């Protein structure tokens, strides 16, 4: 990850974390705020608190920042985003402006209408482009499914998206399941609430960072007091000050902002004393992380014969299918994108099984000559990352309100932030960023007075 080193951050953190202050009390804690997690939400919160002049520290369980925004520069010798690879721009998250200030190059993604629809029917001997009527069928069925999910969301009962989509779409069922659920949200439509689906409000325009999204966050986090290899094992929130335990140390703060994924929170890696109230624990369990992985395949040349950033998919005959991003940002990388339960099952088998499927999928599309052109490969396995445990959150039927629950502070001492907390931009980096910034603003406004003292009563 360019521009950021662990040594730099540890040095920036200084002795405040390495040697706790002697005076520890509810009125004189070690920090004003402790942030748990150095992903997008944690970095956004840190930047806001830095502008306020309040004291704070960021504890990160892993050896790097960025969370699910990770740019790997070693595997292929150039930037390769293993997690998020495009960003939605919002007023609170002006990507182009932030990237420009960081000295990075923005690459705008093509609109969906610029993608060529290409499919391979299992009955065909070779991959072929979709015929005009097939392309029309695809978009018609996509629109029908979307419309029926919207209609179902207006009813009182919250059912799954799979129950809502039309029953008469014939051989398009697996493709619709993949495109609307597994590919778009990392979740199977059987596990996804119709009310959750329609709440998604992704901005149409998204951008990519040529040097990598992880590189951007590394520069945005420059000089933030982050301590790596510091998994938080316990949070005590029953008294006026909150106590946090990490690596055998006990730190206190007026407030704590938790940006750990719902996968990590549900795994009980962080123990709460007292235990979390039932409504918070239930909300976390209702926002399970889906599965979204990619196999990156580096080709020696443009064997696929396609232009930059082409999106490929097939008219799938079964539940195990994929999408392909070819010549990613002009490189020789092809991403084979997987999602949902089939993705999780392949990840359970290991990287070799993921890679075999991805290569076979490409061979099915373009012929066996592709094998000779493959130089290097890499498969992500986000479900197996110990401090992530999945891709991004999705509410099951009946679980839509869980996001609102997590957006509320716990006893005016603990705030939750991250993509799972955002009610319309869930599953996005922009959503994580906005909730991190919002949590920091709330802490400053409702927990700490302008004079740096407690504000016991909230005004909202």
Q: What are phi and psi of 382, to 5 degrees?
A: -65, -30
Domains 6-70+211-288+390-447 and 110-204+290-384 share a fold: no
Confidence of residue 450 (pLDDT cuts 50, 70, 90): low
Find out whether 292 and 339 touch, Cβ atoms under 8 Å: yes
What is the pLDDT at residue 318?
Answer: 84
What is the pLDDT at residue 155?
Answer: 95
What does the mean pLDDT of the chain come to? 87
Which whole number is the average pLDDT over 177-186?
94
Other C-beta atoms lying within 10 Å of the C-beta of residue 233: 14
* In the predicted structure, residue 134 carries a pLDDT above the cut 90: no
Which whole number is the average pLDDT over 182-200?
94
Which whole number is the average pLDDT over 246-273?
96
What is the pLDDT at residue 14?
Answer: 40
Least trusted range by pLDDT, from 6-10, 231-235, 448-452: 6-10
Each residue of 154-169: pLDDT tens digit? Answer: 999 999 999 999 999 9
The larger pLDDT score, comparing residue 270 to residue 239, is at 270
- Please identify, in words, the CATH class of the domain defined by 6-70+211-288+390-447: alpha beta
Tell me how far apart the alpha carbons of residues 28 and 35 are, in angstroms, rounded to a whole number.
18
CATH value of 110-204+290-384 in 3.40.50.1820, 3.40.50.300, 1.10.10.10, 3.90.660.10: 3.90.660.10
* In the predicted structure, residue 58 carries a pLDDT above the cut 70: yes
- In the chain, pLDDT over 90 holds for what percent of residues? 72
* In the predicted structure, residue 5 carries a pLDDT above the cut 90: no
Each residue of 289-347: pLDDT tens digit? Answer: 999 999 999 999 887 878 788 888 888 888 899 999 888 888 899 999 999 999 999 99
Confidence of residue 142 (pLDDT cuts 50, 70, 90): very high
What is the pLDDT at residue 119?
Answer: 52
Which whole number is the average pLDDT over 202-218?
90
- In the chain, pLDDT over 70 holds for what percent of residues? 87
Each residue of 341-367: pLDDT tens digit? Answer: 999 999 999 999 999 999 999 888 788
Which whole number is the average pLDDT over 128-149?
88
Q: Which of 340, 344, 286 is nearest to 316 (CA)?
A: 340
The larger pLDDT score, comparing residue 314 to residue 174, is at 174
| pTM score, whole prediction | 0.89
Other C-beta atoms lying within 10 Å of the C-beta of residue 136: 12
Q: Partners of 298 in the beta sheet?
A: 333, 376
What is the pLDDT at residue 15?
Answer: 32
Domain borders along the chain are 6-70+211-288+390-447, 110-204+290-384
Confidence of residue 458 (pLDDT cuts 50, 70, 90): very low
Which whole number is the average pLDDT over 251-275?
97
Which whole number is the average pLDDT over 367-385?
94
* In the predicted structure, residue 250 carries a pLDDT above the cut 50: yes
What is the pLDDT at residue 110?
Answer: 60
Find out whether 198 and 154 touch, Cβ atoms under 8 Å: no
Each residue of 414-437: pLDDT tens digit? Answer: 999 999 999 999 999 999 999 999
- CA distance to 118, 128, 229, per residue, from 336 (Å): 14, 18, 32
* In the predicted structure, residue 21 carries a pLDDT above the cut 90: no
Q: Partners of 232 in the beta sheet?
A: 246
Tell me how far apart the alpha carbons of residues 324 and 320 are, in angstroms, rounded to a whole number.
14
């Amino acid at each position: 990850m360019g521009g950021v080193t662990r040594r730099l951050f540890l040095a920036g953190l200084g002795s405040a974390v390495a040697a706790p202050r002697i005076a520890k009390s509810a009125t004189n804690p070690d920090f004003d705020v402790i942030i748990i997690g150095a992903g997008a939400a944690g970095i956004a919160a840190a930047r806001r608190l830095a502008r306020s002049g309040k004291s704070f520290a960021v504890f990160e369980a892993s050896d790097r920042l960025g969370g699910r925004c990770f740019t790997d520069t070693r595997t292929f010798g150039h930037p390769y985003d293993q997690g998020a690879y495009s960003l939605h721009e919002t007023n609170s998250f002006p990507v182009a402006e932030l990237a420009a200030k960081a000295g990075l190059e923005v690459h705008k993604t093509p609109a969906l209408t610029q993608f060529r629809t290409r499919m391979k029917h299992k009955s065909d001997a070779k991959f072929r482009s979709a015929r005009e009527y097939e392309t029309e069928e695809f978009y018609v069925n996509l629109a029908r499914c979307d419309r029926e999910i919207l209609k179902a969301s207006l009813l009182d009962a919250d059912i799954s998206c799979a129950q809502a989509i039309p029953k008469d779409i014939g051989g398009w069922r697996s493709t619709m399941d993949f495109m609307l659920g597994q590919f778009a949200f990392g979740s199977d439509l059987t596990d996804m609430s119709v009310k959750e689906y329609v709440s998604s409000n992704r901005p149409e325009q998204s951008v990519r960072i040529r040097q990598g999204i992880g590189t951007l966050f590394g520069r945005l986090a420059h000089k933030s007091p982050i301590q790596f290899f510091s998994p938080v094992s316990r949070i005590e929130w029953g008294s006026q000050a909150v106590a946090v335990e990490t690596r055998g140390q006990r730190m206190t703060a007026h407030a704590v902002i938790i940006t750990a994924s719902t996968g990590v929170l549900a795994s009980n890696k962080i123990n709460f004393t007292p235990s979390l109230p039932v409504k918070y624990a239930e909300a976390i369990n209702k926002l399970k992380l889906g599965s979204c992985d990619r196999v990156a395949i580096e080709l020696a040349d443009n064997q696929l014969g396609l232009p930059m950033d082409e999106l490929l998919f097939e008219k799938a005959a079964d539940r195990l299918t994929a999408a392909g991003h070819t010549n990613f940002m002009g490189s020789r990388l092809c991403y084979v994108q997987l999602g949902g339960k089939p993705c999780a099952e392949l990840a359970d088998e290991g990287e070799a099984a993921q890679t075999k499927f991805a290569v076979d999928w490409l061979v099915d599309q373009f012929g066996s000559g592709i094998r000779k052109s493959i130089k290097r490969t890499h498969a992500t396995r986000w479900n197996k990352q110990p401090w992530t445990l999945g891709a991004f959150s999705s509410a099951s039927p009946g679980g839509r309100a869980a996001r609102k629950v997590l957006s509320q502070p716990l006893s005016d001492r603990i705030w939750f932030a991250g993509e799972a907390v955002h009610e319309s931009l869930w599953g996005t980096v922009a959503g994580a960023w906005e909730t991190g910034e919002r949590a920091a603003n709330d802490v400053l406004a409702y927990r700490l007075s302008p004079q740096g003292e407690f504000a016991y009563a909230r005004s909202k």
